[in-house]
Amino acid sequence: MALQASSFLPSALSAHKEGKANGGLKDSAFLGVNLSEHRMKSSFSSPLLTSGKRLNASTIIRAQTAATASPAINKASPEAKKTLRKGNVVITGASSGLGLATAKSLAETGKWNVVMACRDFLKAEKAAKSAGMAKENYSIMHLDLASLDSVRQFVRNFRQSGMPLDTLVCNAAVYFPTAGEPTYTAEGFEMSVGVNHIGHFLLARELLEDMKQSDYPSRRLIIVGSITGNTNTLAGNIPPKANLGDLRGLAGGLNETTGSAMIDGGKFDGAKAYKDSKVCNMLTMQEFHRRYHEDTGISFASLYPGCIATTGLFREHIGLFRTLFPPFQKYITKGFVSEEEAGNRLAQVVSDPSLTKSGVYWSWNKNSASFENQLSQEASDVEKARKVWEMTEKLLGLA
Ligand SMILES: NC(=O)c1ccc[n+]([C@@H]2O[C@H](COP(=O)([O-])OP(=O)(O)OC[C@H]3O[C@@H](n4cnc5c(N)ncnc54)[C@H](OP(=O)(O)O)[C@@H]3O)[C@@H](O)[C@H]2O)c1
């Protein structure tokens, strides 16, 4: 399988070049070296909850000033401002990369209690400590998105904590660009789509009920997207391109023993499976918006945080790629974004009063100003979003 370096070309190149796809650009070519030999096979207001029974002393952590970033806070009555509490945000995959940087950025404000939802408790604890996060600003709860039982257990544990849920960030992801064969989640779904989309779908569906009960002025459900799933960009046009096709593989359960491990029913390709999963993430955010925004007031958003070439996302890639990719992004494409900067961007989507719009896919320009970006035709296809939603519900036994 070809190296997928080009899957992560930066927004600086692509976000403003919709329709100027360069389908012929190959990964080995744009890195400026011949990598073909290295191709390999492997892979507020009132703090009272509407549900009074879930309120305990720990939920009202401490009063905040009216400066907390939320538009609704500004609109709240003077009395409400007095009782403003800390926000509670669950971030999946907060043990490294973007998730950790976001957790740190929010924790540092002292206005958020970050629940780090991670599969490796010790790793998360060490990561939080080495990031210098103060104990009173975070907690860790076990979550393995590759197991639906674990997702359900997480939801039970979270509810038992008595914390209200104000914002959920679906950030965790896996990427297997060099895998020759699919691997599977506990329930037998291809791993990339199983973790990135299906696990998050169940988590978000369950926790939506908790967010509905929150009294926090600005509640948000954020699903991290990617430029690589958007074929209206340069990066999104590097083969293999995202394409969900007629969804026959998803309908069949994403397993080669019963059909195909790929959403479109095709031959397994780890890089494509990741991009397809990101299309599902972006479609899911929009379908949440259509189904629930008006009734609940919750904002649903997705984002492309920039090319964070140094994160563990690329851990399954060959060594040469991992060595060359960060300098290539820094000095050639200039699309590199540090983990810290990307974390600040995602933290902005969590808490900035100017980013409450629902149904939006956020990106950033060279000056680090956020803007509402356009999704590709497939990633904004209303009918496909509905179908992905319904098929995923069916796989989860929710329909
Ligand atoms: N890096 C980029 O350039 C880039 C660009 C666009 C979008 N993104 C998106 O940014 C998000 C974060 O990626 P990253 O770059 O920060 O990569 P990362 O450092 O590898 O972070 C991924 C996180 O997901 C967690 N995770 C993986 N499988 C899991 C599972 N089964 N259950 C629970 N958690 C699991 C990992 O946990 P462990 O620590 O235990 O491995 C890790 O904390 C992803 O959604 C990715 O698609 C990244």
- Name residue, tokens 């796809």: 21
Q: How far is the CA of 237 from the centre of ligand 1 (A)?
A: 22
Ligand 1 atom closest to residue 225's alpha carbon, by position in its atom list: 7
The pLDDT of residue 235 is 85
**CA separation for the pair 85, 88 (Å, rounded):** 9
Cβ distance 170 to 119 under 8 Å? no
Instruction: Give the pairing type, strands 360-364 and 370-372.
Output: antiparallel
Three-state DSSP at 129 gives: helix
- Could you give the maximum distance between any two Cα atoms of the chain, in Å? 67
Residue from 115, 119, 314 to probe ligand 1 pocket by mutation (most atoms less than 8 Å from CB): 119
* pTM of the model as a whole: 0.83
pLDDT at 102: 98
Dihedral angle, C-alpha 3, 278, 387, 211, nearest 10 °: 160
Cα(193)–Cα(146) distance, integer angstroms: 10
Locate 214 and state its tokens: 């929150």
How many whole angstroms from 51 Cα to the centroid of ligand 1?
33
Atom index in ligand 1 nearest the CA of residue 314 equals 20
Assign residue 312 a region (left: φ > 0; alpha: ψ between -120 and 50; beta: otherwise). alpha
What CA–CA distance (Å, rounded) separates 47 from 83? 7
Alpha-helical (H) ranges within 194-318 are 200-213, 248-251, 270-288, 294-296
Q: Distance from the CA of 176 to the center of ligand 1, in angstroms?
A: 12
> How much distance in Å is there from the Cα of 65 to the middle of ligand 1?
33
Four-point Cα dihedral 215, 72, 362, 329, nearest 10: -90
Ligand 1 atom with least separation from CA of 94: 43
Side chain identity at residue 145, one-letter code: L
Distance between Cα 297 and ligand 1 center (Å): 28
The predicted-structure confidence for 156-187, as pLDDT tens digits, reads as follows 999 999 999 999 999 999 999 999 999 999 99
Pocket test for ligand 1, best of 125, 190, 313 (most atoms within 8 A of CB): 313
Question: How far is ligand 1, taken at its centre, from the CA of residue 172, in Å?
Answer: 4
Sign of CA dihedral 286, 288, 290, 293: negative
CA-closest residue to ligand 1 atom 34: 93
**Domain limits for position 350:** 5-395
Which of 148, 171, 192 has most ligand 1 atoms within 8 Å of CB, for mutation?
Answer: 171
Integer Cα distance of 152 and 158 in angstroms: 10
Structure confidence by residue, pLDDT tens digits, 2-11:
333 333 333 3
Pocket of ligand 1 (CB under 6 A): 8, 92-93, 95-99, 118-120, 123, 143-146, 171-174, 195, 224, 226, 304-305, 307-309, 311-313
> CB under 8 Å to 80, separation ≥6 — which residues?
44, 45, 46
Q: 3-state class of 101 per DSSP?
A: helix
Q: Which atom of ligand 1 is nearest to the CA of 224?
A: 45
Q: Which of 267, 269, 260, 264 is closest to 246 using CA atoms?
A: 264
- Entry field: residues in the chain: 399
Tell me 242's DSSP state.
P
Q: What is the DSSP letter of 119?
A: S
Query: Closest ligand 1 atom to the C-alpha of 144?
Result: 32
Which atom, in ligand 1's list, is nearest to the CA of 171? Answer: 45
Task: Pull the structure tokens for residue 203.
Answer: 């988590």
- Strand locations in the chain (E): 87-92, 112-118, 138-142, 167-170, 220-224, 299-303, 360-364, 370-372
What separation in Å is there between the alpha carbon of 288 and the centre of ligand 1?
22
Cα 336 to middle of ligand 1, angstroms: 17
pLDDT at 83: 53
As for how many domains the chain has, the answer is 1
pLDDT of residue 337: 94
Give distance in angstroms: CA of 171 to centre of ligand 1: 6
CA–CA dist 250, 77 (Å, integer): 48
Low-confidence ranges of the chain (pLDDT < 70): 1-83
Pairwise CA distance, residues 195 & 173, whole Å: 7
Q: Which of 258, 151, 231 is nearest to 194 (CA)?
A: 151
Ligand 1 geometric centre to CA of 340 (Å): 15
Tokens describing residue 257:
């023993």
Query: Would you state the pLDDT for residue 66?
Result: 26
Nearest to 70 by CA among 35, 131, 117, 112: 112
Report the distance separating Cα 303 and Cα 363, nearest Å: 6
**Quick check: 356 and 218 in contact, CB under 8 A?**
yes
90 forms beta bridges with 115, 168
The CATH number for 230's domain is 3.40.50.720
Atom of ligand 1 nearest to the CA of 228: 6
Q: Residues near 93 by Cβ (< 8 Å), separated by ≥ 6?
A: 99, 117, 118, 171, 172, 173
